[in-house]
């Protein structure tokens, strides 16, 4: 399936900041993605439905019809102005022969985690889990009680893989779509914790993410 819109990090709010280009891409792409998703809310202008006059007077009936038609036209324009729901999120700039840009991945993970390199599992859950049917424990891949950006990076790659309709970790290509975003939510559920842990661990090993945080600098 092809998409008309692709959100990437080639440009963004960190362009003028001095940092590694790959890290800059990763941080830019997350901010661009958030801006894209929030645009309908940020630009929303209330258009309340008209108050109709309950009358049999021909003139007032005509006014009701005109007000309704104007309301429908304005709503049509609003709906057409919204960004497409189906789009691609290129969280990695390059993905050649299965080799990922780890700096870009960690930069994106850092930004998605709110500008920190690690969080205790409980705090991560308090911040990001919607309700108590969900858990972040599978992301604590090295079982140290914390989730760091390399472990969260495994989550991003998992979303990429699930975007392709598979759990084959070699199918990642640096692009996430709505299919993957929906699917990863299922992996946050406690009922799917073991499957999630297995997937994250395999990604973590396959792409050599263990220890990658040690070389990460802003």
Task: Name the residue range of residue 157's domain.
Answer: 6-40+86-211
Average pLDDT, the chain: 88
Q: How many angstroms separate the Cα of 98 from the Cα of each of 127, 174, 208?
A: 32, 10, 11
Residue 74 lies in a domain: no
Mean pLDDT of 157-169: 97
Residue 58 lies in a domain: no
Q: Give the DSSP H or E segment for 37.
A: helix 21-42
| The CA-based dihedral angle spanning residues 215, 162, 181, 146, taken in that order and rounded to the nearest 10 degrees | -40
Q: DSSP letter string over 56-87?
A: --HHHHHHHHHHHHHHHHHHHHHHHHSPPSS-
Residue 69 lies in a domain: no
Contact 176, 95 (CB under 8 A): no
Residue 72 lies in a domain: no
Is a pLDDT exceeding 90 seen at residue 1?
A: no
Mean pLDDT of 38-42: 57
Q: How many angstroms separate the Cα of 82 from the Cα of each of 7, 9, 42, 43, 189?
A: 15, 21, 11, 9, 30
Residue 65 lies in a domain: no
**Domain count for the chain:** 1
| d(C-alpha 57, C-alpha 46), whole Å | 30
CA angle 149, 150, 153 (to 5 degrees): 85
Is a pLDDT exceeding 90 seen at residue 200?
A: yes
**Lowest-confidence pick of 12-21, 32-41, 140-149:** 32-41
The reported pLDDT for the residue numbered 42 is 47
Query: Where does residue 56 fall: left (phi above 0), alpha (psi -120 to 50 degrees), or beta otherwise?
Result: alpha
* Residue in 26, 2, 182, 9 with CA at minimum distance from that of residue 88: 2
Residue 55 lies in a domain: no
**Lowest-confidence pick of 31-40, 43-52, 53-62, 207-216:** 43-52
Report pLDDT digits (tens) over 60-114: 878 888 888 887 887 777 766 666 667 899 999 977 677 899 999 999 999 999 9
Residue 101 lies in a domain: yes
Residue 181 lies in a domain: yes
**Lowest-confidence pick of 67-76, 113-122, 165-174:** 67-76
Provide the pairing of β-strand 146-148 with 118-120: antiparallel
* Residue in 114, 199, 90 with CA at minimum distance from that of residue 151: 199
């Amino acid at each position: 399936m092809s998409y008309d819109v692709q959100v990437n990090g080639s440009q963004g709010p960190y362009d003028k900041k001095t940092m590694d280009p790959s890290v800059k891409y990763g941080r830019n792409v997350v901010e661009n993605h958030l801006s894209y998703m929030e645009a309908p809310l940020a630009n929303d202008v209330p258009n309340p439905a008209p108050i109709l006059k309950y009358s049999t007077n021909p003139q007032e009936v005509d006014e009701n019809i005109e007000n309704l038609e104007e309301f429908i036209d304005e709503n049509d324009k609003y709906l057409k102005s919204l960004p497409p729901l189906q789009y691609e999120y290129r969280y990695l700039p390059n993905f050649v022969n299965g080799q990922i840009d780890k700096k870009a991945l960690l930069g994106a993970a850092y930004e998605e985690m709110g500008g920190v390199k690690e969080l205790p599992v409980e705090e991560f859950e308090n911040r990001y889990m919607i309700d108590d049917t969900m858990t972040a424990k599978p992301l604590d891949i090295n079982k140290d009680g914390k989730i760091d950006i390399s472990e969260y990076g495994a989550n991003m790659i998992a979303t990429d893989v699930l975007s392709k309709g598979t759990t084959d970790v070699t199918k990642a290509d640096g692009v996430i779509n709505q299919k993957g975003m929906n699917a990863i939510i299922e992996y946050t559920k406690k009922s799917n914790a073991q499957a999630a842990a297995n997937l994250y661990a395999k990604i973590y090993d396959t792409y050599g993410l263990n220890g990658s945080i040690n070389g990460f600098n802003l």
